[in-house]
Structure formats: C-alpha cells, structure tokens
Structure 1
C-alpha cells in the first residue's frame, strides 16, 4: 500500500512560504489580523495564516469590513466570515460608514483601514496583513507613472509599512494573482468576485483589464514582474536617499521664527536630486504638506537662480530667501 502523504499544491505551498517568511520578521507576541474581503487574494492569505499562525504560536483573527456599498454586502461579509471560521480563524465583521472625501475608492479605503486599525489596536501587540499581490503592485506602479509625480509615485506598496503605529504587512507582493486563485481552488475555497473589480469607470480596472494585457501582448511577457522589480529598486534607492538626507539635514537646518531655515550654501553644494528631496522633506516634516515638482523647483530657484524674487506661497507655508538662508515659515 502506498503510505505517502498527498503532495501539497505548489500554489498553496508558495503562499504559505510567503506568509511564514513575513511572520518570522514580526513581533512574536503579535496577533495577526487578516484583512479578509472574501476575494481570492485575501482568502488565500487567510488560509495560509490559519495554517501558519498556530505553528508559530500566534493568535490570528480575520476582520471582514462591510462597506455597505452594494446590495449584497452583508451576505458577502457573512459568507466570508463562515469560510474564515471553517479555516479555524477567529472572526470579526465590522460595518463601516463610507464618506465621500477623495472619491469613492479613497473613502472606502480610508474607512476600511480605519476599521482594521481599530481592531488591531484592541488586540495590541498586533499586525495587519493584507492580500495585495504582485499584480496589484504592477498596477500601482503604472498608475503612479501616469500621475508623473516622480520616483516616489513609482515605489508602489511597501512589504511592511506603518498604519498609525500598527505594522501593516503585505506578504504576497511577490505572488501572482493567478496563484492565489489556484491556491483557493486547490483547497476547495470559493471566493467572491467584487463587481467593482471589473467596472472600467475606475482607472485601476482599466490598467488591469486593458493596459497591462496590451503591454504583455506588444512587448512580451514579464511586464508585471518587471514593474514590481522597479518598485523594489526605487524603494531601496529612496531609503538610501533618506539616510543621506538624515545625515545632511542636521548640519544645514536651524530654527527660524514660526518655521525653519536651510542654509543656501549647503543646498547649493548638493546635487539637484538631493537638494530637491531636502526641500520636500523639510516642508513635509515641519508643515505636514507635500510639494509638487513645480513648487519644489520654485523653491530651489531661490538657491540656484537668485535674482531677488519675492516669497513663494506653498501649501501651508511660505518660502523666502533671507540673507544666506531659505526661510520656510507658516502662513
């Protein structure tokens, strides 16, 4: 008689490995809060967490956020909850009110992450894990490219980020969407296809359904992987720049009345890329505002093309050259 154990499906194995690696780098006492929508990506993630968390002696919880934006949203949430319980996960279903600030996608995202953070904070220490895949990363990079806001918009999503003091982890950023579906099928898990994911009113859907397939057809396979690699490389470059700025900024910045001042000579001595990053960093750190490239260049001209021009109005602040300093003050 053949006593061999049945082989594990490669898709299931890949996702479990990704989750295992992500959990290994986290606080060993942290509860794992899984953002579960009922879609294939988050369901495959939930199944992997349900398998890996007990082996790492961790508590795990699936949080299903019902946005109430579709007629059947309560039934979808209930079905996802039932599936999660069948996997052995504790479950919380949270109904949220979605506003309209920033548009429907942004408002729903804000409400969702607010609910996830609240649930995680109640179980601190805790980490939130989401099912974003390599395909999501590629779409994010292309959308950033369309915005044209520089390298920062091409960095995509970080594998680990911070959500108001709670670690937000994306274990599946190296996993293709087709793999999550294969993993669900192999484990007999039925997923829900959100109709918004095929609604071409949304830019992300158009990128997913039209732009990426066209690029693959015209340029060749591997576009999504190449875009994801680009995001990783740019994120590494940005981290290096941040270290350089941290080392530089202490020597060239000093307090000013109602703001902060930066040495003109020190800014002029730096390469343009670093100079622009320092300007953006100072405004973001001091006034919690983001500058466009045009605004950044206008401030930089106070250093590189000084002709006696007056103050520059910026979001939440004003920049002016005063002697040998650029003073950035509240307005």
Structure 2
C-alpha cells in the first residue's frame, strides 16, 4: 500500500508524462500483474544527483513508467566538486539499479570557471552532459526533480538578478533544450514530501553540505556559501516568520499565470528576433551579432528586451537587467553615446541603424 504522499507523487508523475503524450503503450498495461516494456518503448530518463528529491523521483518513476509500458533509466552527473563525489555518484547509481531502472549511467564532468558563478557553470556543464546522454540513448524525455521549494527559491533568485515576467515565472513544468524535452513533475510537491518518500522506501540520500538540514554542518560553512543555499537556510525561514505564512507556497503559487504570460511574450519575441537579427558570425576572433534598430525601435519594450536576451544568449553573454536596459537605450534613446560594456569582454555599439554585439577588439569598427 502506498502512503498518501506517494500516491500524490505517482499522480503528478502520470499527469506530467501523459501531458506530453506518454500514455499506456497498450491495453495489457491496464491489467493486473507485471508486464515488461517493449524494447522499442519510449525511454524516460531521470536526472539523478543522489539527493533526496531526485532519488524520490527515481523511485516514483520506477513505479509509474512500468504502469504505462515505458522504459525508465537514469543519468547521474559527477561534477567532481565535492569530496568523495565519485562514491556518492556510484552509490546513487547502485540505488537506481536496485529500483529496476535501466540503463543507468554515471558521467564525470569538469566544471570550468566562466565568470558566471559556480552554480551557473555547474548547471551548464550538467545540462550538456545530460543532453548528450539523452541523445545517445534516444531518450524521449528527461525528468528533473525540482520541487515547489526549488521553484520558490528560483523566483527569489530571478527577482534578485533580473526583472520582468520571466523572473516571477520560475521554472516551467516542460521545457526543451537542444531538442531534448525536460519535465518537472514534482513542482507541486515539497522537499519534506520527497524526504518522507525516501524514508518510507528506505532510500539513502546524500546532501550537499550547503543544501542539507544539518545545522552543525551549515554553521561550519564559510559565510559566502552559494546564493541558493543562503536563500534556503537564511532568507526563507525569516520570510516565513515575518509574513506569518508559508512564503514558498505563495511564491510558487503565482508562477503558473506568469509562466503562461511569459510563454506568449517569448513566442512573439522569437518571431521578432528572427526578423531583427541581421547577421551572426562566430568565426575565429570575430564573434559578432548585428541587430536591426529600425525593426526594433517600433516594437513594445517587452519584445525588444526579449530580442536582446536572445541575442546575448546566442553570443554566450551572461544576462542581467542592467545590461538589457543599457542595450535597449541604444535602440530608443540614442544620441551618439558610446557603447555598452557587457560581461566576458563583449560590448554593444550602435552604428547608424545597426547595433553590433561583439567581442572587444574583434570588431573592425571599434
């Protein structure tokens, strides 16, 4: 018999999978008994870190995927950033295998500093490795274990780092990166729920020292531990006490409408980007991208800013609201001012009715 919270996770998982067309593969899977998935059935991968959230998700997926006749595997990324990280990854891999997941793979990666911050650098290399494995195995989708608590923390981080609808939209329930679908089925569950599921199932999880519940460990950490960890352990408890209610639930509860609004604006922004990005070059020492001012200046500011974000993302430039606003000023309030200095040695310069995003020293008109 499953507990109430386990039944809820099963329901959320089924809803997430079925929303993307992963229904029962045949009538046999509605009958009692165990039925093996076909060799060519869609493969669903769980992105597992060895933490309580992702191991609870792996456990739930090991139940739900067979119900639907889907194959279920896992990919674990060893960032090599914590002591004994290889042991943690192998232990999590062994637990996934014991749940019946197959294939299960561990990929070791190297996180290089880019100036975007340790968490962002780790996320970038992690997604790249997950996408590579998903394509290698022809996976139909990848499951991510973000919870309602993660969603609330993401909203706060978005508000601190940027502005606008996207900041309060949080993480989408479904997204696509380089043609790989990513699903987040646990956005309506709490971290305490995944903790209880692991305890009930006898699953041993690992806590990153900055993310766990051991206050003795936290007190021994340096003051400058990661922003998300400071939000989780310092800010959220203070906000709960200050407001007198569950702030995480309040923040996460507002993301659905904001996400729908953002998706509508993003679609229009992509169409405008296709019309206003004139030229893009990534030749050696000549990284440039040109924007058509005449096309952009007549558009609403919400769409202009989305095009700027798209352009900066294509060039690999970290995005902040301050830089977006500065580039937008070159479009609508240009009076011959100089260029805008951007992160990683990039700059934005206006010449006549064209804005050049380029690497410093790499543009002929500097």
User: After TM superposition, is the score higher than 0.5?
Assistant: yes
Distance apart, 1:255 and its partner CA: 4.2
1:167 aligns with 2:181: yes
For residue 17 of structure 2, the aligned residue among 20, 23, 39 is 23
CA distance in 2, matches of 1:78, 1:287: 36
For residue 238 of structure 2, the aligned residue among 185, 209, 214 is 214
CA distance in 2, matches of 1:245, 1:169: 23
What SS is found at the alignment partner of 1:122?
helix
- Count of residue pairs brought into register by the alignment: 318
Distance 1:247 1:14, change over 3 A: same
Distance apart, 1:134 and its partner CA: 0.7
1:153 aligns with 2:180: no
CA distance in 1, matches of 2:54, 2:290: 45
Alignment partner, residue 3 of structure 1: none
**Deviations 1:247-295 (CA, angstroms, capped at 9, x unpaired):** 6667x7484798342327x72x5444344444444x3477564654444
CA distance in 1, matches of 2:18, 2:5: 20
For residue 312 of structure 1, the aligned residue among 335, 339, 348 is 339
**Deviations 1:132-159 (CA, angstroms, capped at 9, x unpaired):** 1110111111122222444433332221
CA distance in 2, matches of 1:288, 1:71: 30
What SS is found at the alignment partner of 2:50?
coil
CA distance in 2, matches of 1:280, 1:97: 28
1:118 aligns with 2:142: no
1:192 aligns with 2:213: no
Give structure 2 stretches of 5+ with no counterpart: 23-40, 213-217, 281-288
Which TM-score applies when normalising by structure 1? 0.82
Distance apart, 1:242 and its partner CA: 2.4
CA distance in 2, matches of 1:106, 1:285: 14
CA distance in 2, matches of 1:247, 1:107: 29
**Deviations 1:181-205 (CA, angstroms, capped at 9, x unpaired):** 1222223333233323245512211
Alignment partner, residue 293 of structure 2: 262
Distance 1:298 1:77, change over 3 A: closer
CA-based RMSD of the aligned residues comes to: 3.1
Alignment partner, residue 137 of structure 1: 151
1:227 aligns with 2:251: yes
Distance 1:319 1:39, change over 3 A: same
Distance 1:253 1:34, change over 3 A: closer
Q: Taking CA–CA contacts closer than 8 Å with sequence separation of 6 or more, which of the two structures ends up with the larger relative contact order? A: 1
CA distance in 2, matches of 1:71, 1:246: 42
Which TM-score applies when normalising by structure 2? 0.75
What SS is found at the alignment partner of 1:181?
helix
What SS is found at the alignment partner of 2:137?
coil
1:36 aligns with 2:48: yes
User: Deviation above 6 Å: which 4+ runs of structure 1?
Assistant: none
What SS is found at the alignment partner of 1:195?
coil
Give structure 1 stretches of 5+ with no counterpart: 1-5
Whether contact under 8 Å (2:97, 2:104) holds in the other structure is no
1:50 aligns with 2:62: yes
Whether contact under 8 Å (2:12, 2:186) holds in the other structure is yes
Whether contact under 8 Å (1:32, 1:59) holds in the other structure is yes
